[in-house]
Structure 1
Amino acid sequence: MKQNRFRNFSLVLLFLLTTFFTACQSEKKQLKIENPLPVEFGDPYILKASDGMYYMIGTGGVTDGFKMYSSSDLKNWKDEGRIYQGNTSDSWNIANFWAPELYEKDGKFYLLFSADWRENPTNELENFRIGVAVADNPTGPYTDLFDRPIFDPGYPVIDGNLWFENDKVYLYYSRCCYKNPVESEVADWAREKGMFDEIEESWVYGVELQPDFSGIIAEPKLLLRPPLKMDDQQAEWESRSVTSGEVNRRWTEGSYLFKNEDTYYIMYSANYFGGKNYAVGYATSDSPLGPFQKADNNPVLQKNVEQGGIVTGTGHNSVTVAPDGETMICVYHGRTSETGDERVVFIDPMEITADGKLVVHGPTTAEK
């Protein structure tokens, strides 16, 4: 009799625990974001700070600088206004303030960003460099840490991203397409078709930084570039801006690095940021500076109009974690048939599957 009661109690307990964990899992999946957010940002980046708040920055919203939105739940956002003013009489930068990222380190907040460098003796049309500003509070105001860019590689660079590991800091960036023509089978194909005489490319590099962000250690390493051969598995999706006749450039930009277990994942965007073919892929490595192997399930985020959706131009993403502390969130910009040419922010869940594949569950839009 006691054994029956014990068995019944165990069955009830098992049922309650199963119901509880099922409810927890269901709750984790309940983070429903009404995409797109009413925020006209390109290159969005969200920091979940130690105070539990989310701080979103991006390209646009103000001239000559950056603004911010804050949220406690990723759904309701407060406009925090301008947090950084560039193009001042004593600033190193003068225009084109792009791709900001925000980091919390040792009680301070650091704003990494791209802008046109004031120093331009040869009058280059693209003279972008990466700088850093600092503040005591996440909402700023931020002031330049140095009166110069972090470093000068001798060519224009954008889209800085940082990775902190132990006592080391790594910088990832994109060398601009500007004055970087590259011979490839895609370039040969474009010439044969009479489309373009040359194809310029942007490449992603990685380099170790000084811990105080004052400069680089050693020489930058080339990590990612567009494929040379047209039968490469990545060539079709990474070359759409060229093969569609849109522009004579192939991009590898907007890199974002994170680590899952023992594997480093670097996400990146390809194609023209102002067009419909902008899309996201990723590569993996067992070292923060590579070599990286591009994934066979690329692209993991792209336009959905061929599937009946309304989203195009998805790209330049960052990654954060949902309020449940576990669900990975992909933050990116895109365009819809309703929002027009302005880039707007999307937030969708992403995951690493049991076999190590990165999957973004998007783009999604709210049902009207």
Structure 2
Amino acid sequence: MKYQAGLSPKETSGNPLFEGWYADPEGAVFENRYWIYPTYSARYEEQLFMDAFSSTDLVHWEKHPRVIEKENISWLWRALWAPALIHANDKYYLFFGANDIQNNNEVGGIGVATADSPAGPFKDALGKPLIDKIVHGAQPIDQFVFKDDDGQYYMYYGGWGHCNMVKMAPDLLSIVPFDDGTIYKEVTPENYTEGPFMLKRNGKYYFMWSEGGWGLPNYSVAYSISDSPFGPFKRVGKILQQDLSVATGAGHHSVIKGAGEDEWYIIYHRRPLGETAANSRATCIDRMYFDENGYIKPVKMTFEGVSPSPLLNTYE
């Protein structure tokens, strides 16, 4: 492993956060701990499991090996990608992309697994994909599940430069029509490649995505602001991109809220300087700030990472 580590974890988290090549990190807060669920960054045929990592302070991370793996997904044969995690209905849901399907005749797409613990083991809940077709040009990968303030869950997903959203049933195991009868709504913003993420703050919907190529230095994150979860999502600009003094290929992120009132962290992967292999991706974290007008400030990538931020006992 040739990447440059950050400072001692006794001072800050350091970046990367943990050893190993990991990408597409999904951050969550469960059971008064921070969690990160990344893709295992390797050849597609080797991507048959996912590890998770948890922390009480964002600095010291515990590894939870193989929280989901091929043995519990009968239809998986390669490319287990980009998990999305939700706690609902007294269980934990892990949504995933699998098999990197290239057409509607192949088996694969977006699946869902459940567990009684955030550490798994997660087991396939359907025995088949939840979404297994290419609709509106969107490859069924990179799903993110968002809960709005009214309790309704929506999924945003899609690769190949197209993003769809669907409405989730209360059991989170099926999708249901929108009020107008449609099942899939395309909500693709300008320059979208993949990796959608939705954040709601002060009544505004911040829709975020990755641009560029995942194996290229120009991978980056951009965002929009809307008054509705349906958009329109007009691109504001980039907030995360390569810094030739730190790393390249910075993208496919998620955002978690710290214990403070307006304390936010962006979790993402990047390619360490000197690394050229597409799968040489490491998971990192940095602070994310909003300005007085509600716009997201450009994120400064660091080797130091973040200072300790213990969760409050009442925070979930």
TM range, normalised to the smaller chain? 0.7 to 0.9
1:256-276: CA deviation from partner (whole Å, max 9, x where unpaired):
101111110011001110110
Alignment counterpart, residue 327 of structure 1, candidates 259, 263, 282? 263
Alignment counterpart, residue 95 of structure 2, candidates 106, 112, 124? 112
Q: Distance in 2 between matches of 1:69 and 1:339?
A: 24
| Residue 119 to residue 92, structure 1, CA distance change in 2 (3 Å) | farther
Q: Distance in 2 between matches of 1:43 and 1:153?
A: 22
Q: Distance in 1 between matches of 2:76 and 2:18?
A: 29
The equivalent of 1:129 in structure 2 is: 109
The equivalent of 1:220 in structure 2 is: 184
The equivalent of 2:23 in structure 1 is: 42
Alignment counterpart, residue 350 of structure 1, candidates 288, 293, 301? 288
8 Å Cα contact 1:150-1:213 kept in structure 2? no
The equivalent of 2:170 in structure 1 is: 211
* RMSD, matched Cα: 2.5
Q: Distance in 1 between matches of 2:205 and 2:131?
A: 25
Aligned AA for 2:25? P
Q: Give the SS at the match of 1:95.
A: coil
Aligned AA for 2:301? P
8 Å Cα contact 2:104-2:133 kept in structure 1? no
1:167-210: CA deviation from partner (whole Å, max 9, x where unpaired):
31100001x32xxxxxxxxxxxxxxxxxxxxxxxx211112111
The structure whose Rg is larger is 1
Q: How many residues align?
A: 279
Aligned AA for 2:52? M
Q: Which is richer in helix?
A: 1
Aligned AA for 1:116? N
Aligned AA for 1:77? W
2:216 corresponds to 1:256: no
Q: Distance in 2 between matches of 1:117 and 1:258?
A: 26
Equivalent pairs: percent with the same residue?
A: 30
2:142 corresponds to 1:151: no
Q: Distance in 2 between matches of 1:346 and 1:258?
A: 19
| Residue 287 to residue 34, structure 1, CA distance change in 2 (3 Å) | same
The alpha carbon displacement at 1:338 in A equals: 5.3
8 Å Cα contact 1:37-1:346 kept in structure 2? yes
Q: Distance in 1 between matches of 2:257 and 2:184?
A: 30
Gapped runs of 5+ residues in structure 2? 1-10, 178-182, 306-316
Q: Distance in 2 between matches of 1:346 and 1:321?
A: 16
The alpha carbon displacement at 1:322 in A equals: 2.5
Aligned structure 1 segments of 4 or more residues deviating by more than 6 angstroms: 117-121
The alpha carbon displacement at 1:324 in A equals: 4.0
The alpha carbon displacement at 1:153 in A equals: 3.6
Gapped runs of 5+ residues in structure 1? 1-30, 178-201, 227-237, 239-250
Q: Distance in 1 between matches of 2:140 and 2:188?
A: 14
Alignment counterpart, residue 299 of structure 1, candidates 233, 238, 258? 238
The alpha carbon displacement at 1:128 in A equals: 4.6
Q: Distance in 1 between matches of 2:187 and 2:102?
A: 28
